[in-house]
């Protein structure tokens, strides 16, 4: 297995969290722009990222729109965090190929039911518990080496041994 250096691991982690911060920032800007758009139709003129306090709770149309805006913004932030959970910790691509493992009836042999996702470039796999018994169980990420590098190493070693013959 090819070991990553400490610096590469640190950079990978920084990139992973910077990606989440970028998504949250975009969600913040998107929801702020949407509130600004709603505010354009009511007086007095309200600065960006502010509620129109003279209309909110006094005008039914404005209050209803702001309620819808709040739910939409909440959904945007939720999507940003939810999407991050299913991203590869190394290359930030979406994890694919969910496979159910384990069984309740054969728990001692196969373990508890989980759903396993993998990175299609082989950087690692994510195990999600099917049932969250003790509150919220954090998904378990297992880092793997670069499978393509391993395969190429095997291929090169085979080629070298053929040359020697
Ligand atoms: Zn990956």
Q: Are residues 77 and 102 in the same domain?
A: no
Q: Are residues 53 and 99 in the same domain?
A: no
Q: pLDDT digits over 5-14, tens only?
A: 888 878 888 9
Instruction: Report how far ligand 1's centroid is from the alpha carbon of 6 (Å).
Output: 18
Boundary residue ending a domain (18, 51, 85): 85
pTM over 0.75: no
Q: Are residues 80 and 23 in the same domain?
A: yes
Q: Are residues 70 and 93 in the same domain?
A: no
Instruction: Report how far ligand 1's centroid is from the alpha carbon of 94 (Å).
Output: 8
Query: Domain tally for the chain?
Result: 2
Give the sign of the dihedral formed by CA 72, CA 74, CA 79, CA 84: positive
Domain that holds residue 137: 89-165
Instruction: Report how far ligand 1's centroid is from the alpha carbon of 92 (Å).
Output: 6
Instruction: Report how far ligand 1's centroid is from the alpha carbon of 87 (Å).
Output: 8
Boundary residue ending a domain (42, 59, 85): 85
d(CA 44, CA 40): 9
Q: Are residues 81 and 93 in the same domain?
A: no
Boundary residue ending a domain (63, 85, 107): 85
Q: pLDDT digits over 95-119, tens only?
A: 999 999 888 888 888 888 899 999 9
Instruction: Report how far ligand 1's centroid is from the alpha carbon of 129 (Å).
Output: 21
Burial bucket for residue 23 (CB in 10 Å: 0-12, 13-18, 19+): middle
Q: Are residues 122 and 144 in the same domain?
A: yes
Q: Are residues 10 and 75 in the same domain?
A: yes
pLDDT bin (cut points 50, 70, 90) of residue 3 is low
Q: Are residues 78 and 152 in the same domain?
A: no
Instruction: Report how far ligand 1's centroid is from the alpha carbon of 60 (Å).
Output: 49
Q: Are residues 77 and 116 in the same domain?
A: no
d(CA 63, CA 71): 13
Instruction: Report how far ligand 1's centroid is from the alpha carbon of 88 (Å).
Output: 5
Q: Are residues 4 and 77 in the same domain?
A: yes
């Amino acid at each position: 297995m090819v070991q990553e250096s400490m610096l590469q691991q640190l950079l990978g982690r920084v990139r992973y969290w910077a990606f989440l911060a970028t998504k949250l920032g975009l969600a913040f800007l998107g929801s702020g722009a949407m509130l600004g758009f709603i505010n354009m139709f009511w007086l007095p003129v309200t600065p960006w990222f502010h509620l129109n306090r003279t209309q909110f709770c006094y005008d039914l149309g404005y209050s209803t729109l702001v309620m819808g805006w709040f739910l939409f913004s909440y959904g945007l932030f939720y999507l940003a965090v939810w999407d991050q959970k299913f991203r590869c910790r190394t290359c930030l691509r979406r994890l694919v190929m969910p496979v159910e493992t384990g069984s309740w009836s054969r728990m001692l042999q196969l373990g508890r039911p989980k759903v396993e996702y993998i990175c299609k470039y082989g950087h690692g796999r994510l195990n999600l518990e099917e049932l969250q018994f003790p509150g919220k169980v954090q998904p378990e990420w297992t880092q793997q080496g670069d499978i393509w590098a391993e395969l190429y190493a095997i291929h090169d070693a085979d080629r070298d041994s053929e040359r020697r013959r």
